[in-house]
Chain A
């Protein structure tokens, strides 16, 4: 029997590559039956520059049996356009759609898009491996947890799959030779989940609690990335890099020992309120050059609505402490959160400008599937675009016209505040 040809496609942003595809392949190939009967190829496209025609051309040349897509709010439209054409040209190709955009609303995606065969909900490693076994005739679809699929015209939603308890079950895509580190776009994940439960965020709700990758494996990944030629900076994908000081100390120790070439750690997500002198010293030891943090809003009522932790004094002190120690801070604000108004949003802008972070980032609220705000949008009085990227259209005291004005104002302020001198 010929091996089944499987392609995992990721339409990424800014020349990144998909860590998720690496995990899926690494986990699936643990199974000897899959290894013997399937070939898995990972293809990363830059969604900003690649056209649908180019993706279709690539697939028309490689003619896979199965295609898996990682769907996010920023790439799903392009994925659906690609899949529609592929399925028309090659109806036998099986289309699997995973990722946080489609997973939580799999039935909706299947109803609206007949070109999709299966939607994976939640962490995909085990589910994807089982799906491959199903396509190889070794498993029944109705027994696979965490999938939504179509039988004739009926959409079936199997029971959900719990997150993988022991992350050591997932082999490292770097150490297995599946992913190669590249400068500026290499991410390492040391744990999954989030300690916070922000209602606009997917992670806290769907991946509660923290599950850590084994320390020894993290150490090997860091050493591997830091010894790779051409790497000048890398990142961690962890939701909060400084979530626990003890663990931070260990990781910093690993980085500082392995970092022989002065490789920089950039744009790690932190919780500013946990930053003290000791943390800054650790960041410096790990060659952290820039960090990104909230607070998304400084309005108390809004913070309560979205369950976001914010301590103004601690936050302010942390920004100064980091900046004065040469670590660039990027602070984030979201436009359109429930509880905010135009002038409350402007008040948040003022508060952050007075703190003088290196960068101030504005984004408009995306009411993402799988989040509390999506599921309880009615309760929060939110209206939003049903189509990805699910931009908020109005909040109770923030009508559409004023959200639009806030976005335009933010665009102008962004240009003025974040003006960069050429290198």
Chain B
């Protein structure tokens, strides 16, 4: 699947999300030159042998042809369009911004970003309304700005790809169907349901996830989940992001096998459940997957 070179643009943010993975971290904000250096580090090591006979030493194959910028909130950098332009000039075919979308409520700023060469966006929404979203971002008005930003994106005449990330937590999981419905109404291209909160019982959120998946598929929009193990996702395996993109994300998480994993047919593939979740809920919600028609294909997919 499409692999993005992920580049961190700094810790600054215009929201103060309760569940922000960077909130307590003191990451430094990289300067322009170090970002350019990161963009330059994009060659397979060692270079693969020449494909063309007499081609003069072979091609330096680029490791990535796509780049994703994330933060913090990358749109707060005043050199962002310069960074995007640099990525474009370095031959990155897809330049994606992972953002809260607030800054796009300013159409002039959005045009600047699009003109620089960014057409792929991943935007986080915490709820279907300002009460939930603004509570979780701890920023009044952030919901309106994000929605306005997405509406502005839709106004762009250029080709674009919009993915909505919905983190699931204790405070918003009952609103999941409404949030997905709101996202679908914005004409988006993909939805990610991210399991965010280890205080939230998987048993409680699962019916909402099933409904959300059905809503999205009914509306012909692809939807995936993150952070949910095979044993929970039985029957919904097609929607497990990890099958396609692996378990490593830039959200640092430690996974652990639970007591029943040793009997599960996916045990070699699946890293288990977030360690903190197991501390909270123990093993009660899990049962090993004993058989599935997908196992061989999924294992083959992972080579």
Contacts and interface: CB of A to CB of B under 8 A. Distances in A.
Do A and B make up one complex?
yes
Interface of A: 277, 317, 320-321, 324, 341-344, 346-347, 349-350, 353, 356, 397, 402, 404-405, 408-409, 411-413, 415-417, 419-422
A343 B2 contact: no
B160 A419 contact: yes
Contacts of B159: 415, 419-422
A421 B158 CA distance: 7
Contacts of B298: 343
Nearest to A417: B2
A350 B301 contact: yes
Given A341-B297, A405-B238, A421-B158, A416 B94 contact: yes
Interface string B32-72: 00000000000000000001110000010000010000000
Nearest first, the 4 closest Cβ-Cβ pairs linking A and B are A343-B297, A412-B222, A422-B158, A412-B190
B198 interface: no
A405 B218 CA distance: 10
Pick from A353, A397, A421 the residue with the most CB of B within 10 Å: A421
9 contacts: A324-B51, A343-B243, A343-B298, A344-B300, A404-B217, A405-B238, A415-B159, A416-B120, A422-B157
Interface in B130-169: 157-161
The A interface is mostly helix, strand or loop, or mixed, namely helix
A289 B45 CA distance: 31
Given A346-B244, A356-B65, A419 B217 contact: no
B89 interface: no
Residue among A347, A402, A404 having the largest count of chain B Cβ atoms under 10 Å? A347
A9 B7 CA distance: 55
Residue among A317, A346, A419 with the highest chain B CB neighbour number at 10 A? A419
A404 B59 CA distance: 40
Interface string B1-42: 110000000000000000000000000000000000000000
B238 A342 contact: yes
Nearest to B54: A277
A180 to B, nearest CB: 32
A302 to B, nearest CB: 12
Interface string B219-257: 011100000000000000010000110000000000000
Contacts of B157: 422
B260 interface: no
A348 to B, nearest CB: 10
Given A416-B161, A419-B161, A408 B2 contact: no
Interface in B264-303: 293-294, 297-298, 300-301
A343 B189 contact: no
Contacts of B294: 341-343
Contacts of B243: 343, 346
B244 A405 contact: no
A404 B218 CA distance: 10
